[in-house]
Amino acid sequence: MIVIVDYDMGNVGSILNMLRKLGAAATVSHDPALLKGADGIILPGVGSFDHGMAGLNERGLSALLAEDIAPSGTPILGICLGMQLLTCASEEGVLPGLALIEGTTRRFQFSPDAGLRVPHMGWACTTPVVGRQSGSLAERLFRGTDPEQRYYFVHAYHVVTTDPADVLATASYGHTFTAAIGRANVIGTQFHPEKSHRYGLHLMRNFVEFCQLRREAVA
């Protein structure tokens, strides 16, 4: 069972529909027992950093995710704001993040003559990063995807990791930015797989398989 975290901050319906289309058992919940017993966790997110962390804190889910579920090896996928919440902090707010991957979330800053709007909205080609510490995880997440893979982004902030090896993929908007992060069993995508049609479907299939392999390994 894959559990989508319910904290009033995400596009959970589309994610749930995509998982069910893939034949994965999935549900939406904030029940700690259900989350602890899950084969995989998806942390969605649309909105502000502090609002998202407050929603997790109020439900007692921040400590559960950071101190119990993540150390257990259960695969976690943060999407958009959910990815940003995996970091230590954000320029958007004052609350600390989950700190599952060291880094900060920063606002896009462009000169007025650059002609670039913030937030960044739309499709962008995304390049997996392989051949270093994060390589095997990037290969697992993006395995079998189209070399010209494109994903749908809606964001004003982007993640800057402390360790470059935690970057799984990059994209470009004014400059190269981090499109996906990961370390061990914790993954984040700045883009929305659930809005990215066949590209997102394939990536989500890879995540489901990651969860299945983890379940079989501990069975």
Q: Active site residue: 80, 92, 155, 158, which one?
A: 80
Task: Look up 202 and say whether it is catalytic.
Answer: no
Q: What is the 3-state secondary structure (H, E, C) of 175-196?
A: EEEEEEEEECCEEEECCEHHHC
- Enumerate the β-bridge partners of residue 26: 2
Please tell me which residue in 30, 92, 158, 194 is annotated as part of the active site. Answer: 194
Our answer to whether residue 192 is catalytic in this structure is yes
**Is 80 part of the annotated catalytic residue set?**
yes
Q: Which of the following is catalytic: 30, 120, 158, 192?
A: 192
Query: What's the CA gap between 185 and 149, in Å, rounded?
Result: 23
Active site residues: 80, 192, 194
